[in-house]
Structure 1
Amino acid sequence: MLDVRKLRLLCDLERLGTIAAVAQARSYTPSAVSQQLATLEREAGVALLERSGRRVAFTAAGQVLARHAATVLSALEETDAALAAVRSGPAGPLRIGAFPTAVRTLLPAALVTLGCDHPALELMVTELDPAQVPAALRERRLDVGLLNDYDVAPGDVDPDLDSVPLLEETVFLAVPVAVRCGTLAEARDQPWIMASEGTLCHDVTLRVCAAEGYRPRVRHRADDFVTVLALVGAGQGVSLVPELAASPVEGVRLLPLGLRRRTRIAYRKGAAGHPAVAALVAALS
């Protein structure tokens, strides 16, 4: 019988590409990952990987097993959800990952509802950039997470995850009231307040500015939109702000753009029927 934990490592390797990356994601040592995969090969009775120094490549058998392993893991997730539904209603730990604006605006009412309707749930919220959510779900550090994408930066289809739409928002250009600027094109010569590199917000800003033929001149970096709007109100630059975070701030004009942000509720494939996951989806929706 093949070990499920080792199958997860094989799927991780297919997704991440290197044993070092798998080790980092799982908080193992590379040698521990290699040993587990070698044991899996012995259990399978066939070579799964071809090794050349520190590099590995999947054999044909390894590709077949990785493909079927993903199906097995999804089926196990679905089985766990079905058993949880039979055992009881929503109960036990529910680990939720969400971006800061959602934690401030969307989650509080949902958490109150869940606490009243399902007191046996143990709710735990972690602030995470949407770019970090898929890995946290796969690695079982989260049960549910909120993902974003934009019409200029559509989200990748992740074969390990399922999701349902939550909301769609207009994105605004936030400018100081003293600045004569009404469009993205006119913001070319303005200093910008941008999110940290590697975040989706940072990538989207670069894309929309590139579409207007320029690269934004960064003056400040901030990931929380309350801070962003405070800096805009202080005349420190312009920025993109989604509708969920676009509260009125003195000294700030909010100009709607032809740009949309979409938010989805994501969970591991097969987990939609889990009572705790279903309860959160219902409370948020």
Structure 2
Amino acid sequence: MLDVHRLVLLREVKLRGSITAAARALSYTHSAVSQQLGLLEKDAGVPLLEKVGRGVRLTPAAEELVHHVDGILAILEKAEADLAAGDSEVRGTLRIAAFTTISRTTVPQVIGTLQRRHPALDVRFRQVEPEDGLLLLSSRRIDVLVADSYPGASETMPADLHAVLLTHDPVRAYLPADLEVDTLEGLRRTRWVLEPSGTEAHGWARRLCLQHGFEPDIAYESPDLLFHLRMVEAGLAAAFLPDLLVRDARTQLAPSTLLDTHQRRRISLVCRAGAEHRPAVRACREAFVHHLR
């Protein structure tokens, strides 16, 4: 019978792109991972890795095997959830990750609620960007990810993950308060602060500006939306700000009537398929829904 731990190592190489990256992510040595994969290859009776330059890639047989691993892990997740459901108390360790805005505005409240309601639950947290969080979740480095997605982005979730919508968060355009911007030409001359180039949010914001007839002058980039808000308050840049952040900052800023976007980002809770019925995950979801009302 194939060893599940070795199958997970093979899957990690697929996710990370190399043995070195997989070993680093799992805090193993390169040789330890290579040795375990060699034993898995011997048990499988077919080649699983082939050399490409200085690295390796999965063979077609290994790709098919990884596909089955996703199903095996989902069954194990459900089995663990069923076992935990038989316990009258929510306990164990729950590793939560979330993006910056929700980390600032809601995560402390959620952790406080979980600690009060479920004192036997050990909650751990780390702040990550959604793109990194999905990989951490698939790699079993975290248990729950709260991620945002912008209009136009694909809502397709990898087969090994399960997502549930928590809320829609309106995103509005804010222009520098001391700047007279009341025409399209004025928007063209305005400097903007956006999230870093290459991110989903950056692409969405730029597309939206183009749809309104102008190319934004992106003078500043930062993943921290609070920085964006402060730049608008200082009269230095225009920005797209979500309602959650604006409410939490208690700012006097008012959204632009010239660039009324009517756009909303989705905020979702993501876990591994099969784990959505785990009591700790359910408790976490309920706490987020409560504080995002």
TM class by shorter chain equals: 0.7 to 0.9
Do residues 68 (structure 1) and 65 (structure 2) align? no
Q: Displacement, 1:214?
A: 5.3
Residue equivalent to 2:78: 78
CA distance in 1, matches of 2:52, 2:112: 54
Residue equivalent to 2:251: 249
What percent identity do the matched residue pairs reach? 37
Residue equivalent to 1:275: 279
1:143·1:267 contact (CA, 8 Å) conserved in 2?
yes
Residue equivalent to 2:194: 194
Amino acid at match of 2:251: V
2:166·2:268 contact (CA, 8 Å) conserved in 1?
yes
CA distance in 2, matches of 1:100, 1:273: 26
Residue 176 of structure 1 aligns to a residue in which SS? coil
Q: Which structure 2 residues correspond to residues 90-239 of structure 1 after superposition, within 5 A?
A: 90-181=90-181, 187-212=187-212, 215-239=215-239
What is the count of residue pairs matched by the alignment?
Answer: 284
Amino acid at match of 2:139: E
Q: Displacement, 1:212?
A: 4.6
CA distance in 2, matches of 1:107, 1:16: 28
Q: Residue by residue, what CA displacement relative to the aligned partner does 1:108-133 show, whole Å, maximum 9, x if unpaired?
A: 33333322221111122222222221
Amino acid at match of 2:244: L
CA distance in 1, matches of 2:251, 2:182: 17
RMSD (Å) for aligned C-alpha atoms: 2.5
CA distance in 2, matches of 1:76, 1:134: 19
CA distance in 2, matches of 1:277, 1:184: 47
Amino acid at match of 1:167: T
2:150·2:201 contact (CA, 8 Å) conserved in 1?
no
Amino acid at match of 2:220: H
Change (3 A) 1:185 1:142: farther
Q: Displacement, 1:218?
A: 2.9
Q: Residue by residue, what CA displacement relative to the aligned partner does 1:159-215 show, whole Å, maximum 9, x if unpaired?
A: 221111000122111111222336888523211112234543333323333445655
Change (3 A) 1:56 1:154: same
Residue 188 of structure 1 aligns to a residue in which SS? helix
Gaps of 5+ in 1: none
Q: Displacement, 1:220?
A: 2.8
Residue equivalent to 1:6: 6
Do residues 259 (structure 1) and 260 (structure 2) align? no
Change (3 A) 1:184 1:142: farther
CA distance in 2, matches of 1:281, 1:48: 39
2:187·2:214 contact (CA, 8 Å) conserved in 1?
no
CA distance in 2, matches of 1:202, 1:153: 12
2:184·2:213 contact (CA, 8 Å) conserved in 1?
no
Q: Displacement, 1:5?
A: 2.1
